[in-house]
Each structure stands twice: as C-alpha cells, then as structure tokens.
Amino acid sequence: MIFVVISQLLIVLENEAGEHFYVKRLNVVCAAMMTVFALAGFSYFLFQMTPGVAQFWMGILLLLKVAFIVSFYNEMIRHRERVAEQ
C-alpha cells in the first residue's frame, strides 16, 4: 500500500511542478521497490525451508528505500534551487 501512495505522490508532484520536477528516476526506483517487495513475499512462501532467500530480497528492498529517499531529497533540493533562480 505504501508504494501506491508513493507513486501517487510522484504523479502529483510531476503534475504540479511541471517540467521543473524530474521524477523519472524516482518512478523507476519506486517500481523496483514494488517488484522486490512482491519477490520477497513470494520467496517467503515458496522457500520456507531457506529463509535466507526472503531476507536477501528484504535487504535489497531496504537498499532501494534508502536510494529512493536520497534521490527524492536531492530532487527536492534541486527543485528549490530551480524555483529560487526564477
């Protein structure tokens, strides 16, 4: 559910800010987070004898979340700088 909320937030930011807010990279990271979350869930039920597989996917998901937060923060700073220049 949280990934759907994040994707809707990105759509709103893209529509409000227009061409000044670049969300392509953020959309890619959000889609990757949704995919890895689904893979982690499936691997948990499919590989119950080896829980390391699900833990691996959850580790990847954690790294993607950090990458998303850093990218979002950098894009917000760049957007403020662009708005300040105008």
pLDDT at 20: 58
Sign of the torsion formed by the C-alpha atoms of 57, 60, 62 and 68: negative
**pLDDT tens across the length of the chain (86 residues):** 787 888 888 888 777 766 556 778 888 888 899 999 999 888 888 888 887 888 899 999 999 999 988 988 888 787 777 767 77
Contacts of 76 (CB under 8 A, 6+ apart): none
pLDDT at 59: 93
Q: Determine the pLDDT at residue 50.
A: 80
Q: Which pLDDT score, from 0 to 100, does residue 36 have?
A: 93
Q: What's the pTM?
A: 0.76
